[in-house]
A = this chain, B = another copy of it.
Amino acid sequence: MNKALELSAQIEQRILAGEWLPGDRLPSQVHLMADFGVARTTVRESLSQLQSRGVLRSQHGSGTYVNNLFESVFLPPLNQLPLHDSHTQLAVLEMRQVLEGEAAYHACQRASDVELQGISDEYQCMLQRPGKMPVIERSKADLKFHMLIAQASHNLIVASLSQLLYSKMFNTIFAARSGGLLEQPTYSEAVHSQHLRIHEALMNRDALEAKQAAEDHARHTAQMLRQQLQS
């Protein structure tokens, strides 16, 4: 077996195992070269192979990143999806509900301590500045909190799909409602306690409770969006 091929296989293996997730930046070529004990040319050859297969994407001067699983499979038709269509929005909300539950469930089972710590940090960050935080920042932190959980599930499909739904669709839906939702006090209160519950369950690695909490949270969010949708 080639060294380049072997390296490709190892990298792919780590991606499939959920060690390197979609969006993650791989170690630099120099780092990989040291890690695997090969020349940089060989590393480049390897990365080139994976790029041509759509697994990776290199950005000059920045790094090499893991692609989303569904980037190639799903995107062309998804791009043309009418996000303003209420049926589509409903579908996304329903899917999100399932995904959040599943992500939380498996995160409890498979997240590393470091990952749990990262989730907890993000949670603390959300708490710290309750009122001062600008709406957009608040929203971003919220999103990151959920994405971290999805990543910690170590299920490549769950992570990829969550990423896809969040980055491409959920933002759009939120944006369409122009922030009115995020400022409502009921949001802060209810969502706050829901996040607390999710966080608690995750820290205790209580998978079933985490799943339930995440589903409830998603259901609540969906409910609020539906109301806005009707009004």
Inside 8 A of A127's CB, which chain B residues have their CB?
Answer: none
B88 A156 Cβ-Cβ under 8 A: yes
Inside 8 A of A165's CB, which chain B residues have their CB?
Answer: 157
Checking B90, B94, B164 against A73 with a beta-carbon cut-off of 8 angstroms, the contacting residue is B164
A95 B155 Cβ-Cβ under 8 A: yes
Checking B80, B85, B91 against A157 with a beta-carbon cut-off of 8 angstroms, the contacting residue is B91
**How many copies of the chain does the oligomer comprise?**
2
B72 A80 Cβ-Cβ under 8 A: yes
Inside 8 A of A101's CB, which chain B residues have their CB?
Answer: 98
Bound together, the chains give a CA A200 to CA B53 distance in angstroms of: 44
CB proximity of A135 to chain B, nearest CB, Å = 28
Inside 8 A of A72's CB, which chain B residues have their CB?
Answer: 80
0/1 per residue, A78-90, Cβ < 8 Å to B? 1011100101101
Which of A13, A94, A154 has the most chain B CB atoms closer than 10 A to its own CB? A94
A209 at the interface (CB under 8 A from B): no
B16 A157 Cβ-Cβ under 8 A: no
